[in-house]
């Protein structure tokens, strides 16, 4: 009779142990899933590169994300894009010039002033050794349309 009682208690203990184990495993699993979901894509803050355009370590490129030929009713616009990190970006607008550097990912953004009418904006990227690449965009600032 005593042996039967001990066996029953052992069975109960094992059962309780299984339940507790399941609870602990469930908690650990949920915590891990929550932490993973908090940052589903660690690189999501970076501007995605256009297809086929990957930065080459020693190569120089300039990819403007600002649309060409915009018609604007305010006297300023933002020039943004992506190039290689540790480069220098010169923006020659008709109402002013700007020299900036990109961030560690190569992204850059600069608000520039516009003149009334057609604006030709030349963006040139320089590397320290003098290598450069450039791109031109147009914008039209008008108060009447």
Partner 1 sequence: MKLSSKHIITFLVLTLSLVLPAQIVAQEDVTENLKNRLKETLEDSSINQVSSPPLLGLVGTVKDIVKNTIVVEDKSGKKNVVVPDDATILRTPGSSAIEIENVRIGDSIIAMGGASDNEQEIIGKRIIVSENTLTPPEKLTGIGIIKDIKRYSLILDTDNDPELEVFFTNKTLYKSPLSTLQLKDLTLGDKILFTAGLDKDEDWSASVVMRMQEALTSEE
Q: Which residues bind partner 1 (CB under 8 A)?
A: 6, 9-10, 12-13, 16, 20, 23-24, 26-28, 30-31, 33-35, 37-38, 69-71, 86, 88, 90, 92, 94, 96-99, 101, 117-118, 120, 122, 124, 126, 128, 130, 136, 138-140, 142, 144-145
Q: Rounded to the nearest 5 degrees, what angle is found at the Cα of 28, between the Cα atoms of 27 and 31?
A: 85
Distances (CA, A) of 68 to 23, 50, 51, 99: 58, 16, 19, 20
What is the 8-class DSSP label of residue 105?
Answer: T
Q: For residue 71, report the phi and psi dihedrals to the nearest 5 degrees.
A: -110, 120
Least Å distance, CB 131 to partner 1, is: 10
The CA distance from 34 to 28, in Å, is: 10
What is the 8-class DSSP label of residue 51?
Answer: T
Least Å distance, CB 26 to partner 1, is: 8
Least Å distance, CB 87 to partner 1, is: 10
What is the 8-class DSSP label of residue 41?
Answer: -
Comparing CB distances to partner 1, the nearer of 42 and 130 is 130
Comparing CB distances to partner 1, the nearer of 65 and 88 is 88
Least Å distance, CB 52 to partner 1, is: 19
Comparing CB distances to partner 1, the nearer of 31 and 105 is 31
Comparing CB distances to partner 1, the nearer of 23 and 49 is 23
Least Å distance, CB 34 to partner 1, is: 3
Tokens representing 19 are 């339940």
Element (H, E) at 20: helix 2-38
Comparing CB distances to partner 1, the nearer of 29 and 59 is 29
SS3 1: coil
């Amino acid at each position: 009779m005593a042996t039967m009682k001990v066996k029953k208690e052992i069975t109960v203990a094992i059962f309780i142990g299984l339940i507790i184990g399941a609870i602990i495993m469930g908690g650990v699993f949920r915590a891990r899933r929550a932490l993973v979901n908090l940052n589903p894509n660690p690189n999501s803050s970076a501007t995605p590169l256009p297809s086929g355009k990957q930065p080459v370590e020693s190569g120089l490129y300039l990819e403007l994300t600002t649309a060409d030929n915009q018609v604007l009713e305010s006297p300023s616009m933002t020039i943004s894009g992506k190039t290689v990190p540790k480069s220098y970006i010169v923006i020659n607008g008709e109402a002013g010039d700007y020299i900036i550097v990109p961030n560690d990912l190569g992204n850059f953004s600069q608000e520039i002033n516009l003149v009334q009418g057609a604006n030709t904006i030349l963006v040139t990227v320089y590397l320290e050794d003098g290598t450069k690449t450039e791109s031109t965009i147009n914008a039209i600032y008008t108060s009447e349309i």
